[in-house]
Amino acid sequence: MQQINGDIKSGNWKQMYLLFGEEAYLRRQYRDRLRQALSGDGDSMNTHYFEGKDINQGEIIDLAETMPFLAERRVIVMENTGLFKSGGEKLAEYLAEPAPTAYFVFVENEVDKRSKLYKQVQAAGHAAEFGAQDEKTLKRWMAGILKKEGLQITESTAEAFLDKVGTDMENIRSELEKLVCYCMGKSVVDPVDVEAICTTRINNRIFDMVTAIGEKRTEDALNLYYDLLALKEPPMRILFLIARQCNTLLQVKQLKNKGFANKAIGEKLGLPGFVAGKYASQAAGFKERELKRAVTCCVEAEEAVKTGRMNDTMSVEMLIVSVL
């Protein structure tokens, strides 16, 4: 991010930028900043946007070779093309010696760092990875947004907010907007404000459900499941999230047993440190064999639905009742 900020400030551009990683909010923010800085406001004639996997690389190259109209640069933004995982060899060859007036901004969720296209952009331009932000960074960002609205937030309230809404920056921004409106006329955000207005993310409900299952509180687990159904969450999505939760807990448990600290576990699994700590605490309530069985039961529940032996709603209900 520092490299991109420096380039925008100095005007000393690379001809190609790749923005990738799981934090979609930051990808979009830097995509828009680069597009605006490279092409200027309103220059639609020399700025082109392509999205999706049905992209003709030959047409892109022809466009890049076309001289810009009354401008220094022709800016080509390409998003979610999949070319950084496979099939981008033709474009990679072109980028080894592109037209001097052609500038590229690539935006991808996932990339293969072994691909020819990734290596070419990394060598000739700049590849920036936007991963999940740590707790300290998120708190500082939140505090800055609230400060502009004349609000303050304590450390403990910020932790309660993140625990409730999660670490996705797009969701955090949306929930902060609600919180600002709710706290109009106040100077400090209180925990009761967070509880009153902010929406609990589905992952938190799944987290609580798995905790209830592990503690043999079957009725509580089922009530959480029925709440999600009432919120129109598809049973198969709930099953997917339960399976992901159990699999993550298994990995955390195994790493804990090998002596890894929470921070190191977070780095290995791509989780913020404080989230890894929550998983470690939850995993402590399970035996490793229980988590392995839970993962297997999730696979069996999905198979039962796909083969028609059981409907989706009942399959997840039976899983909750019998998994541990």
Closest to 89 in 3D by CA, of 107, 110, 109, 114: 114
Structure tokens at 109: 């969720």
pLDDT of amino acid 92 = 95
pLDDT of amino acid 208 = 86
Integer angstrom CA distances of residue 127 from 1, 15, 47, 61: 10, 12, 21, 20
Phi, psi of 303 (to 5 degrees): -65, -40
pTM of full prediction above 0.95: no
Flag residues of the chain having pLDDT under 50.
none
Closest to 318 in 3D by CA, of 301, 305, 303: 301
Amino acid type, 94: Y
pLDDT of amino acid 324 = 55
Closest to 279 in 3D by CA, of 169, 163, 194: 163
Residue recorded with tokens 């999205």? 51
Amino acid type, 271: L
**Rounded Cα–Cα distance for residues 149 and 151 (Å):** 6
**Rounded Cα–Cα distance for residues 226 and 175 (Å):** 24
Phi, psi of 267 (to 5 degrees): -65, -40
